[in-house]
Amino acid sequence: MLQEIGFCLWFDGESKEAAEFYKSAFSGFQIQSENPMAVNYSLYDRKFMHLNGGPGFSINPSISFFVNLTSEDEIQQIWEKLSKEGQILMPLDAYPWSRKYGWCSDKYGVNWQFMLDHECSSVIMPTLLFNGENNGKAAQAIQFYTSIFPKSETLLIDRYEAGEHDTEGNIKYSQFLLNGKPFGAMDSSMNHAFNFNEGVSFRLMVDTQEEIDRYWEKLLTGGKPGRCGWLKDQFGVSWQIVPTMLGKLMMNPETAPKATYAFLQMSKLIIADLEKAVE
Tell me the CATH number at 242.
3.10.180.10
Pick the residue with more confidence: 5 or 97? 5
Last residue of a domain, one of 56, 76, 100: 56
Tell me the pLDDT band of 97, cut-offs 50, 70 and 90: confident
| 109 found inside a domain | no
pLDDT digits (tens, 9 = 90+) for 224-258: 999 999 999 999 999 999 999 998 888 888 888 88
pTM of the prediction?
0.94
In the chain the first and final C-alpha atoms are separated, in Å, by: 25
Pick the residue with more confidence: 62 or 122? 62
Q: Please name the amino acid found at residue 199.
A: G
| 80 found inside a domain | no
**Structural domain span for residue 255:** 200-277
pLDDT digits (tens, 9 = 90+) for 32-87: 988 888 999 999 989 999 999 999 899 999 999 999 999 999 999 999 999 999 99
At 251 the pLDDT is 83
Last residue of a domain, one of 56, 71, 101: 56
pLDDT at residue 3 tops 90: no
| 136 found inside a domain | no
Last residue of a domain, one of 9, 35, 56: 56
Please check whether residue 193 is in contact with residue 204, taking contact to mean a CB–CB distance below 8 angstroms. no
Please check whether residue 189 is in contact with residue 135, taking contact to mean a CB–CB distance below 8 angstroms. yes
Q: Round to whole Å and give the CA distance between 221 and 217.
A: 7
Taking the CB of residue 264, how many other CB atoms lie within 10 A of it? 9
Identify which of 84, 71, 67 has the alpha carbon closest to the alpha carbon of residue 29. Answer: 67
pLDDT at residue 121 tops 70: no
Domain count, the chain: 2
Residue burial 147-181, b: 16+ Cβ < 10 Å; e: rest: ebbeebeeeebebbeeeeebeeebbbbbbbbbeeb
